[in-house]
Structure 1
Amino acid sequence: MLGLRGTLLCRLLAEYSRDASGALRAYSMYPPTYIKPVYQKEKLEELIESGEAKEREFTPVRAAYNSHTSSVFHDSLVRKFTNHVMKTGQKALSRELVEQTFREIKLIQLRKWNQSQTPEEKSVIECDPNKIFHKAVENCRPLLIVSPIRRGGVTYQVPMPVTEHRSYFESMRWLVKAGKEKERTIHFPQQMARELLSAARNEGRAVKMKQDLHQLCEANKAYAHYRWG
């Protein structure tokens, strides 16, 4: 039980955390009118092409985080994938495994490129591991997902659209799971490189997991109306 002083203090904090419109600011040091910074070169070019950069010209911007960088060697998707590979907080080991995976992809593609006989065959072989990784993640992203919803004492698997953040999460989780399902004589970077190359061709176990999920959504489409129940 809070005393009178504690109750007044909580009320003052709640009033202080509200802005002029009455919405909660979640104790942020920036007002809601401040927008998040855009530090990636690709997104800046998209804003300039769409004309949105002109509209944001005089809009106040929040300070960037320490982890934000515009370096060409920084890739937010690779960083998230590294976090998925990591176990028990061993970030250095996770980074090393991802680097070895990319190195293995490069060696496989260069070996295939050198064995090609004609320039046409060489032109279709992608040797950039970063592009192969992005294509593999995009091919594994689901469009729908099932969610358990209880109605009348029965739990139904209801299909519903998946958010962008959740689709990337499921895609990378399936890729890591497929990379860990290997024989004891095969190291993780080698197996992970094979799975990424297979997913880039729209094949492999991770793509099969996505297709199985879509088939489950198709089988349970009769329960889709329970989303709004």
Structure 2
Amino acid sequence: MSRRTTSKKRIIVPDAIYQSRLVNMLIVRILKNGKKALAQRIIYEALDIIKNKTSLDALHVLEKAIRNTTPLVEVKARRVGGSTYQVPVEVRAYRGTNLALRWLIRFAHARSEKNMAMKLAYELIDASNETGSSIRKKEETHKMAEANKAFAHYRY
């Protein structure tokens, strides 16, 4: 991180089909080796699978999944007098969304379905129904923050 100037936050443009910033953020998170067309195909296939399986609006399911997996608090390591404390800190909205997207993709990779589009679709469906690995990760993060509530006065 530069000491001279603060980095400017990039403006997220909506994707081509759904006109949604969330879909574009998901495409960027799933992107590997600069193959954006492949990432888009995976996302759009996953959204089509969601639409067929649940007969609900795929974008609505995606938004609900991200809302359900977004953490409210997390712990950050803070050194005070030679010892390190896990200090609970509230999560800002943008970081919470990023964490939710990261967890959804990570746990979708770990699933055992046929291809990445199906893995992602089923992970999103599970997250929107408040089940699945990404929801468990959110609850684990909240438990960690709750357990270390005694060190909240070290917040910065």
State the TM bucket, normalised to the shorter chain: 0.7 to 0.9
2:155 partner SS = helix
Dislocated runs of 4+, deviation >3 Å: none
Superposed displacement of residue 89, structure 1: 1.5
Q: Secondary structure at the match of 1:186?
A: coil
Equivalence for 1:101 = 46
Percent identical among aligned pairs is 31
User: Cα distance, 1:182 vs. partner?
Assistant: 2.2
**5 Å matches for 1:73-92?**
73-92=18-37
Decide whether the 8 Å contact of 2:13 with 2:24 is kept in 1: no
The number of residue pairs the alignment matches comes to: 148
| Whole-angstrom CA distance in 1 between matches of 2:22 and 2:63 | 8
Structure 2 portions without partners, runs of 5+: none
Q: Secondary structure at the match of 1:224?
A: helix
Deviations 1:106-143 (A, max 9, x none): 12124xxxxxxxxxxxxxxxx11010000000000100
Q: Which residue of 1 aligns with 2:105?
A: 176
Kindly provide the amino acid, as one letter, of the partner of residue 182 in structure 1. Answer: R
Is the radius of gyration larger for structure 1 or structure 2? 1
TM-score (norm 2): 0.87
Q: CA deviation at 1:186?
A: 2.0
- Taking structure 1 as the reference length, the TM-score comes to 0.60
| Correspondent of 1:158 among 87, 93, 112 | 87
1:1-229 counterparts in 2 under 5 A?
73-110=18-55, 127-183=56-112, 186-228=114-156
d(CA) in 1 for partners of 2:150 and 2:18? 47
- What does the per-residue CA deviation read over 1:64-123, in whole Å, with 9 as the maximum and x for residues that have no partner? x8x757x8831011100111111122111100000110111112124xxxxxxxxxxxxx
Structure 2 equivalent of residue 116 of structure 1 = none
C-alpha separation in 2, matches of 1:93 and 1:147: 35
- Unpaired runs of 5+ in structure 1? 1-24, 27-64, 111-126
How far apart, in 1, do the equivalents of 2:110 and 2:131 lie? Answer: 16
Greater relative contact order (Cα 8 A, min sep 6): structure 1 or 2?
2
AA matched with 1:197: I
Q: Is the CA contact (8 Å cut-off) linking 2:69 and 2:127 kept in structure 1?
A: yes
Contact persistence 2:13–2:21 (CA under 8 A): no
Aligned-CA RMSD value: 2.2
